[in-house]
Amino acid sequence: MGAGHAHAMYVHQHSLVHHLAPEVKIAAALAFTVVVVATPRERVAVFGAYAVIILALAVLSRIPALWLAKRCLIELPFVATALLLPFFAAGPKTTVLGMSLAVEGLWGGWNILIKGTLGVLIALTLAATTLPRDLLVGLDRLKAPQAITQIAMFMLRYLEVLADEARRMRIARLSRLDDPRFLWQVKGFATGLGSLFIRSYERGERVFLAMRSRGYTGRLPAALHAETLGSARQWAAGAIVPVLAAAILIIWGYA
Amino acid sequence: MTSLDITDLHYSYPDGHQALHGVNLSVSEGERVALLGPNGAGKTTLVLHLNGILPAPNMPGAQGSVTVGGLKADPRDRAALAEIRRRVGLVFQDPDDQLFLPTVREDVAFGPANLGLKGAELDARVDDALAWVGMTEVKDRAPHHLSLGQRRRVAVATVLAMDPQLLVLDEPSSNLDPQARRELAEILLNLPVTMLMVTHDLPYALQLCERSVILDEGRIAADGPTREILSDTALLAKHRLELPFGFTPLATTP
| Contact (Cβ atoms closer than 8 angstroms) between residue B66 and residue B229 | no
Residue type, B65: S
B121 CB within 8 Å of a chain A CB: no
Evaluate whether A101 touches A93 at the Cβ level (below 8 Å).
yes
- Chain A residues whose CB is inside 8 A of the B106 CB are 224-225
Please determine, for residue B191, whether its predicted confidence score (pLDDT) is greater than 70.
Answer: yes
| Residue at B252 is within a domain | no
Specify the pLDDT at position A4: 42
- Which positions in chain B touch A224 (Cβ < 8 Å)? 101, 106, 109-110, 113
* Contacts A1 to B, Cβ<8 Å: 144
Nearest alpha carbon to residue B37 among B214, B212, B210: B214
- Please state, rounded to an integer, the average pLDDT across all residues of chain A: 83
> What CATH number did the domain enclosing B73 receive?
3.40.50.300
Residue B140 makes CB contacts below 8 A (sequence gap 6+) with B103, B104, B105
How far apart are the CA of B82 and the nearest CA of chain A, in angstroms?
6
pLDDT digits (tens, 9 = 90+) for A30-58: 999 999 999 998 888 999 999 999 999 99
Q: Is B249 domain-assigned?
A: no
Q: Does residue B102 form part of some domain?
A: yes
Instruction: Quote the pTM value.
Output: 0.75
CA-nearest residue of chain A to B110?
Answer: A224
Give the largest Cα separation in chain A, rounded.
Answer: 72
Burial class of residue A159 in the structure, from the number of CB atoms within 10 Å of its CB (0-12 exposed, 13-18 middle, 19+ buried): exposed
* Contact across the interface for A209 and B158, Cβ inside 8 Å: no
- Give the number of domains in chain B: 1
Domain range for B84 is: 2-238
Each residue's pLDDT tens digit, A164-178: 888 877 777 776 666
Nearest CA in chain B to A212: B53
* Sign of the dihedral through C-alpha A191, A192, A193, A195: positive
In angstroms, what separates the C-alpha of A190 from chain B's closest C-alpha? 25
CB proximity under 8 Å: B 38-97 to A: 48, 51, 53, 82, 85-86, 88-90, 92, 94, 96-97
ipTM over 0.85: no
User: Which residue has better confidence, B129 or B118?
Assistant: B129
Which residue among A164, A211, A215 sits closest to B100, beta carbon to beta carbon? Answer: A211
Give the distance from residue A159's alpha carbon to the nearest chain B alpha carbon, in angstroms: 10
Task: Answer whether B96 sits within 8 Å of A5, measured CB to CB.
Answer: no
Q: How many CB pairs under 8 A join A and B?
A: 93
Cross-chain Cβ contact A223/B48 below 8 Å? no
H or E segment and range at residue B33: strand B32-36
Any domain includes B246: no
How confident is the model over B159-189, as pLDDT tens digits? 999 999 999 999 999 999 999 999 999 999 9
Give the pLDDT score at A5.
Answer: 46
- The average pLDDT across A117-139 equals 88
What is the radius of gyration, based on Cα positions, of chain A? Answer: 23
Interface of A to B at Cβ within 8 Å reads: 1, 3, 5, 132-133, 153-154, 156-158, 160-161, 164, 203, 206-207, 209-217, 220-226
B86 in a domain, yes or no?
Answer: yes
Mention every residue, 6+ apart, whose C-beta is less than 8 A from residue B33: B27, B195, B196, B197, B209, B211, B212, B213
